[in-house]
Amino acid sequence: MSAPDQLLVVIDPVARRCDGESVRIARDVLCGGAAAKVCVPGTPEEFVRALARRGSRRLVVIGDDRALVRAVRALHHGGDLGGNALSLVPVGPRETVRLGVSLGAPPGAVTAARAVLGGVARRLDLLVDDRGGVVVGGVRIPEGTPSPEPVVAPEARFRPSGGGGPGAPGAGASGAGPSGPGTPGAGPSGSGTTSGWGPAAWGPSVWGPSVWGTCRSLVRTLVGPGAGRVASARGQRLRVEADGRLLADVDDPVDGVTVVARDGAAEVVVRPRAAPPRRWTARTVTVAGAGGECYRYRADAEPTGPVPTRTWTVRPGAWTLLVPARALPADGQ
């Protein structure tokens, strides 16, 4: 990507509240290297409209994995996913940007922003289900242990200004806790590096456990893993087909099923309770519950369901991500 290219930089509100320092650094690098229009959408609708009206500008998302998946989903539904390459500047706690980093986006504001300006295109596969949903990372059945919780609940990701609360723990260069979108923040100081990726940026707070962390621990203690143990003990009765080939039937309970798009195919792994894992590659994978029973699954970071059946089809090279040249495999994929 050359410097004269015009950019549309979309900043996820959660990234700005979580690590405003890294967001500022990335924005300054991008605006200093190219003609950039910066947008901070206040609602999901504004996010979609910003993408639809970007014209010939290259899209840059500053945010976590949820922001990346939302952008891919919006471009796919708008029929423009296969156009210009998408760029990502991962901002957020380490566990919330694992997907983007695994795809090649550098885990640092400066490095990632420079990759936007001088990176190379990497073609990536996509899973599309029979209801129009898209999966960037993979599918896991059952939904299993929830992914690490975002800094705020998904429904609060887009929040009108003026309704802020106390800030989250700081993890930027200044080490100061960023404020909420309204009232000043009161987050304890952090000790992260400039990119927010120092060990202390994602380790235990020097102030000890937070109130919210204590509440979550209490809920986990009260609820307990009993439900998960029951489901695991009896397995799930699922019918799994890969390109019409039967991999598991309802009379052979499974501990889990995963589907990942890789190398132009859908790689499905079935883990029966009484046999070794079965691996298969296909273009289409269908999972159905026994006798129309519903099941739940996790697509990327989002729990989905219950559904009686779902079919995923791989779309090879459906979208492009700009990554540093060193992150691109020898075959260019």
Rounded to two decimals, the pTM is 0.72
Record the tokens describing residue 41, joined without a space. Answer: 């959408």
**Are 317 and 264 a contacting pair, CB within 8 Å?**
yes
pLDDT of residue 144: 63
Question: Which regions in the chain score pLDDT beneath 70?
Answer: 1-4, 144-233, 327-333
Domain, as residue range, for 215: 1-118+175-221
Record the tokens describing residue 245, joined without a space. Answer: 């080939």
The CATH number of residue 209's host domain is: 3.40.50.10330
Is residue 156 assigned to a domain? no
Is residue 64 assigned to a domain? yes
pLDDT of residue 274: 85
Is residue 180 assigned to a domain? yes
pLDDT of residue 222: 38
In the chain, the number of structural domains is 1
pLDDT of residue 301: 80
The closest alpha carbon to 324, from 56, 157, 81, 112, belongs to 112
What ranges make up the beta strands (E) of the chain? Answer: 6-11, 35-39, 58-63, 87-90, 120-129, 134-135, 139-141, 238-242, 245-248, 254-262, 265-272, 278-282, 284-289, 295-299, 302-307, 309-323
The answer to whether the peptide bond before residue 4 is cis (omega within 30 degrees of 0) is no
pLDDT of residue 327: 61
Is residue 182 assigned to a domain? yes
- Rounded to the nearest 5 degrees, what angle is found at the Cα of 97, between the Cα atoms of 94 and 103? 125
Is residue 238 assigned to a domain? no
Is residue 63 assigned to a domain? yes
Is residue 35 assigned to a domain? yes
